[in-house]
Structure 1
Amino acid sequence: MDNTVIPTIQATFTRNAPEDVAFTVDQKDGAKLKTINVNGKKINKTGNYVTSEESVKFESTYLETLESGHNMIEFVMDDGSKSNVEITIKE
């Protein structure tokens, strides 16, 4: 059995037309965002993303640092729940 997580939300970032990218974060029963992992590594908030009540907006300057192709983003909540999205970086 394959345990690969398939994200239900996907977005695309294009380097030659950079824009910030926002995702709505699924927050169950009042859980708060604790950390964000990109390609399995925890990232710092400063200069990389901003949060609002229900969304996370990744700064275009941060997105430009990611490798071209598919990148997995994992939102980890303070209750231990997680949700995944995918962003594709194009030239």
Structure 2
Amino acid sequence: MRCPKCGNDVPADALYCPHCVGDEAPAERTRRLRAAGLRGGVFGGVLGAFGGALVWWLMGPQRGVPGIALSLVFAGVATGLVLGLARSR
């Protein structure tokens, strides 16, 4: 298989290109990872808020429902953050 960045041959079982892995500057990598984490966190937060609003709408403001709805938002943010960071690697 060929690396899409540098065009060199890469072993099929390699996780990254051994030829161009060090080409990215540390500041650029940090910026890219932060942007990916933020994108994932916002996307997960929106989905979590939608799920929380749906639970609130279906069950009403009964005892314990606000906590469940809020935990769905936080779980969505955390999951989106992790998946966003994992996807950017």
TM normalised by structure 2 equals 0.21
Larger Rg: 2
| Greater RCO (CA < 8 Å, at least 6 residues apart) | 1
Which has more strand, going by share of residues?
1
TM normalised by structure 1 equals 0.20
